[in-house]
């Protein structure tokens, strides 16, 4: 058999996929991405689109679906959130009809997944990484075996053309989860980045028409300039440029001035920017700077020159400004596309994270010395105060906050079961409970029908059952030592570990507190205090090098924080456990540690021990030995590198044994 040859001379038994004109008319650029997605969909592959807001994820999916045709269920939209359940995806029986006639196929109300499978359409899951893993696991059989087994209904087979496309935003941390490896393995990954300048200008033209056509390049350039600003975690998408042009349409040319331009810019771009916590300016102040930068670069710093360029543009044509063909900051080497042809290969740029991947997760006497000698670097200077107070942030971070957050996002802190409470975060497991006026959830049809049969139809209120995610509370108290003995790399390592644990706690919907200590305590964040996790991370990574170590005061503060919910509070001490203030003996510190029901110690290693001792045929740091005696080996972890954090996370994720260790 003669094989046909596809693009690039690669032999193939199938004709190469060509992009239909219908799709290219609806989507600006994205030729490689569209071709990949169309190829995957035509072969029934599931695809995960990963990209920032405004990079055309939904536009691409709708264009491909429109080309493939089909009925009303050619594309079935679902938005992932904590309320999503497997029943909601698959479908349920209509309760009144079931109570009347029993379980019959005509009483089944198909959910989005069943509808897409039956119609041979696309199930499009927005915010895929916000949905509970238990709900998403129903996709595995549908994707691999292409059928579902629905209790009391039977088998639902997927018609030809069925597939799943998910979308995820890599910057969304709080409230997100990671896909299990089994489910992630069933998806192809398609990262989407911002498009070249010419394509973004064409997008604005298509969305805004001839309205203020001369301002299109300026509006796009302000958005693009924001993406490389040092005070922003991420900048504006092309949506900001579209909004800016739409707002400019409300002002006549002679009504515009620089102050009005800045006012409109704050409205159009400000809400789309994510300002770094360490930045001392607001989003609107940064927008003003971006507008000034574009004016200075392309219009000789003159607002009047911008108006002249905009007025000189023919109707429906963007104004050409000097230097518009060059790349903006951070985008060198990106080819401009004028006619919608194939984009030249770009350097690979990975997103901040790839959502969907999860990593797997004493009876001896103390040493002879009952007190700890004060090391020289812990000794305060005579008559001098502390060189830096925690409220005065250092000029630099010990480590790049973005790098810490990226690495932490690759891990999953499996939040252990907490204390059930009327308020708190929704738990991961569905439970059936009697209906109450203040309870919301889906009807547990099976349990309610069983009660109906058992009572011969005489149902009481408690016989109606709801499926709910029980509210529970789980707290983490993070103690980070920044004393003199933690100077240099140890302080950097300890602060980085604390910052990552804070991010993981927030992402897992757990409450957390951070207490920094040397000879004094500083509450970086208290339990119950609403705070942006990036701001907390920023403050941790700016901790100054302190003086003496009051370990006893830190343990007492943690015990007080855990006192309200001792069974639902884990305390993580990140320290070298070298006390030089307050409690300094093994016994006194052991008593303080014993008052914390669930204490974990992350011991920062020294290359050479402060005090060495010989124990069970190996040399130990004396303070390491102390720490092991306080909490036991099961809750102790020594670490010398940030790569060890995955083992710390696994330690915190494990359920304690019956002995409490």
Phi, psi (degrees; rounded to nearest 5) at 504:
-65, -40
Separation between Cα atoms, residue 561 and residue 527, nearest integer Å:
8
Separation between Cα atoms, residue 80 and residue 128, nearest integer Å:
5
- Inform me whether the pLDDT recorded for 223 exceeds 70: yes
- Inform me whether the pLDDT recorded for 402 exceeds 80: no
Is 471 in contact with 495 (CB distance < 8 Å)? no
| pLDDT score of 512 | 84
Condensed to tens digits (0 to 9), the pLDDT of residues 46-69 reads: 999 988 888 888 888 888 877 776
| pLDDT score of 438 | 65
Q: What is the pTM of this model?
A: 0.60
Q: Tokens for 501, please give them.
A: 């644990």
Q: Tokens for 170, please give them.
A: 């890599």
The residues, any chain, with a CB within 8 Å of residue 436's CB and separated by 6 or more, are none
The residues, any chain, with a CB within 8 Å of residue 601's CB and separated by 6 or more, are 572, 573, 575, 577, 627, 630, 631, 635, 636, 637
Condensed to tens digits (0 to 9), the pLDDT of residues 433-480 reads: 777 776 667 777 777 777 777 777 777 777 777 776 555 557 889 899
Choice between 660 and 642, residue whose per-residue pLDDT is larger: 642
Q: How crowded is the C-beta side of 615, counted as CA atoms within 13 Å?
A: 18
Confidence of residue 556 (pLDDT cuts 50, 70, 90): very high
| pLDDT score of 258 | 92
The residues, any chain, with a CB within 8 Å of residue 385's CB and separated by 6 or more, are none
Confidence of residue 372 (pLDDT cuts 50, 70, 90): very low
* Average pLDDT value for the chain: 74
- Please name each of the domains of the chain with its CATH number: 17-192 (3.40.50.300), 197-312 (no CATH), 399-414+474-653 (3.40.50.410), 423-472 (no CATH)
| CB count in 10 Å sphere of residue 584 | 19
- Inform me whether the pLDDT recorded for 606 exceeds 80: no
Confidence of residue 197 (pLDDT cuts 50, 70, 90): very high
| pLDDT score of 185 | 85
Average pLDDT over residues 127-131: 80
Cα angle, residue 562 at apex, residues 560 and 564 outer, rounded to 5°: 90
Separation between Cα atoms, residue 366 and residue 381, nearest integer Å:
31
| pLDDT score of 411 | 62
DSSP secondary structure of 605-625: PPSS-SSEEEETTEEEEHHHH
- In three-state form (DSSP H/G/I as H, E/B as E, the rest C), the secondary structure along 413-445 is CCCCCCEEEEEEEEEEEEEEEECCCCCCCEECH
Separation between Cα atoms, residue 158 and residue 433, nearest integer Å:
34
Is 94 in contact with 107 (CB distance < 8 Å)? yes
Percent of the chain with pLDDT over 90: 18
Confidence of residue 178 (pLDDT cuts 50, 70, 90): low
Alpha helices (H) along 508-634: 533-540, 551-562, 586-594, 622-631
Per-range mean pLDDT, top range of 135-149, 445-459, 579-593, 609-623: 579-593
User: Dihedral through CA 40, CA 42, CA 48, CA 50, nearest 10?
Assistant: 70
337, burial (CB in 10 Å: exposed 0-12, middle 13-18, buried 19+): buried
Choice between 440 and 79, residue whose per-residue pLDDT is larger: 79
Condensed to tens digits (0 to 9), the pLDDT of residues 466-524 reads: 776 555 557 889 899 998 888 777 778 787 878 777 777 776 567 788 999 999 999 99
Condensed to tens digits (0 to 9), the pLDDT of residues 296-343 reads: 999 988 888 888 888 876 544 555 544 444 433 333 333 333 333 443
Per-range mean pLDDT, top range of 177-186, 290-299, 396-405, 641-650: 290-299
Q: Tokens for 434, please give them.
A: 């009697």
Confidence of residue 82 (pLDDT cuts 50, 70, 90): confident
| pLDDT score of 351 | 40
Lowest mean pLDDT among 387-391, 442-446, 632-636, 651-655: 387-391
- In three-state form (DSSP H/G/I as H, E/B as E, the rest C), the secondary structure along 103-131 is CCHHHEEECHHHHHHHHCCEEEEECHHHC
Is 122 in contact with 72 (CB distance < 8 Å)? no
Phi, psi (degrees; rounded to nearest 5) at 146:
65, 40
Choice between 202 and 405, residue whose per-residue pLDDT is larger: 202
DSSP reduced 3-state for 465:
strand
- Inform me whether the pLDDT recorded for 112 exceeds 50: yes
Confidence of residue 629 (pLDDT cuts 50, 70, 90): very high
In the block, residue with structure tokens 């006026």? 437
Choice between 474 and 275, residue whose per-residue pLDDT is larger: 275
Average pLDDT over residues 281-305: 91
Q: Tokens for 72, please give them.
A: 């009303």
Q: Regarding beta strands 232-234 and 274-275, do their DSSP bridges make them parallel or antiparallel, or are they unpaired?
A: antiparallel
Average pLDDT over residues 530-553: 85
| pLDDT score of 517 | 93
């Amino acid at each position: 058999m003669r094989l046909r040859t596809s693009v690039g001379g690669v032999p193939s038994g199938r004709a190469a996929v060509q992009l239909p004109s219908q799709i290219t008319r609806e989507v600006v650029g994205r030729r490689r991405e569209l071709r990949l997605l169309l190829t995957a969909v035509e072969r029934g592959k599931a695809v995960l689109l990963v990209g920032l807001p405004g990079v055309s994820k939904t536009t691409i999916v709708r264009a491909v679906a429109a080309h493939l045709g089909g009925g009303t269920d050619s594309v079935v939209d679902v938005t992932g959130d904590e309320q999503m359940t497997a029943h909601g995806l698959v479908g349920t029986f209509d309760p009144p009809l079931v109570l009347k006639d029993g379980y019959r196929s005509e009483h089944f109300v198909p959910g989005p997944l069943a509808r897409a499978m039956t119609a041979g359409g696309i199930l499009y899951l927005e915010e895929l990484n916000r949905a509970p893993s238990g709900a998403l696991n129903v996709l595995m059989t549908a994707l691999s075996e292409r059928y579902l087994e629905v209790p009391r209904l039977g088998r639902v087979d997927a018609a030809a053309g069925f597939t799943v496309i998910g979308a995820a935003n890599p910057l969304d941390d709080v409230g997100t989860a990671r896909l299990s490896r089994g489910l992630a393995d069933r998806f192809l990954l398609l990262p989407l980045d911002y498009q070249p300048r010419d394509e973004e200008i064409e997008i604005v033209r298509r969305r805004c028409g001839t309205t203020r056509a001369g301002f299109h390049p300026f509006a796009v350039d302000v958005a693009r300039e924001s993406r490389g600003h040092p005070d922003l975690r991420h900048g504006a998408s092309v949506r900001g440029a579209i909004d800016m042009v739409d707002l400019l349409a409300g002002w006549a040319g002679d009504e515009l001035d620089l102050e009005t331009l800045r006012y409109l810019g704050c409205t159009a771009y400000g809400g789309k920017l994510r300002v770094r916590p360490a930045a001392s300016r607001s989003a609107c102040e940064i927008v003003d700077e971006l507008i000034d930068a574009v004016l200075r670069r392309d219009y000789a710093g003159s607002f009047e020159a911008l108006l002249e360029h905009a007025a000189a543009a023919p109707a429906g044509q963007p104004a050409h400004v000097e230097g518009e063909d060059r790349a903006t900051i951070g985008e060198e080497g990106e080819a401009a596309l004028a006619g919608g042809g194939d984009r030249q290969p770009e350097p690979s740029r990975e997103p901040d994270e790839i959502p969907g991947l999860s990593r797997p997760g004493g009876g001896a006497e103390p040493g002879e010395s009952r007190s700890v000698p004060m090391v020289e670097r812990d000794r305060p200077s005579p008559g001098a105060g502390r060189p830096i107070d925690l409220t005065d942030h250092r000029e630099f971070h010990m480590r790049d906050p973005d790098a810490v957050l990226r690495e932490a996002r690759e891990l999953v802190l499996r939040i252990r079961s907490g204390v059930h409470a009327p308020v708190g975060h929704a738990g991961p497991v569905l439970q059936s409970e009697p209906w109450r006026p203040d309870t919301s959830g889906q009807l547990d049809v099976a349990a309610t029908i069983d009660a109906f049969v058992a009572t011969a139809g005489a149902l009481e209120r408690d016989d109606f059952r709801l499926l709910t995610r029980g509210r529970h509370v789980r707290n983490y108290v993070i103690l980070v030592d920044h004393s003199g003995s933690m100077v240099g790399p140890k302080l950097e390592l300890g602060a980085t570990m604390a910052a990552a644990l804070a991010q993981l706690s927030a992402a897992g919907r757990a409450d957390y507190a951070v207490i920094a200590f040397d000879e004094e305590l500083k509450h970086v964040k208290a339990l119950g205090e609403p705070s942006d996790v990036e701001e907390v991370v920023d403050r941790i990574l700016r901790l100054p090098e302190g003086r003496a170590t009051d370990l006893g005061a830190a343990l007492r503060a943690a015990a007080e924080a855990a006192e309200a919910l001792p069974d639902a509070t884990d305390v993580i001490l990140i320290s070298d456990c070298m006390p030089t203030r307050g409690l300094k003996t093994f016994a006194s510190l052991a008593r303080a540690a014993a008052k914390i029901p669930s204490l974990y110690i992350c011991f920062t290693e020294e290359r050479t021990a402060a005090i060495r001792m010989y124990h069970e045929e190996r040399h130990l740091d004396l303070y390491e030995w102390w720490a092991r005696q306080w909490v036991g080996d099961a809750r102790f972890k020594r670490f010398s590198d940030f790569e060890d954090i995955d083992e710390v996370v696994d330690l915190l994720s494990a359920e304690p044994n019956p002995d409490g260790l």
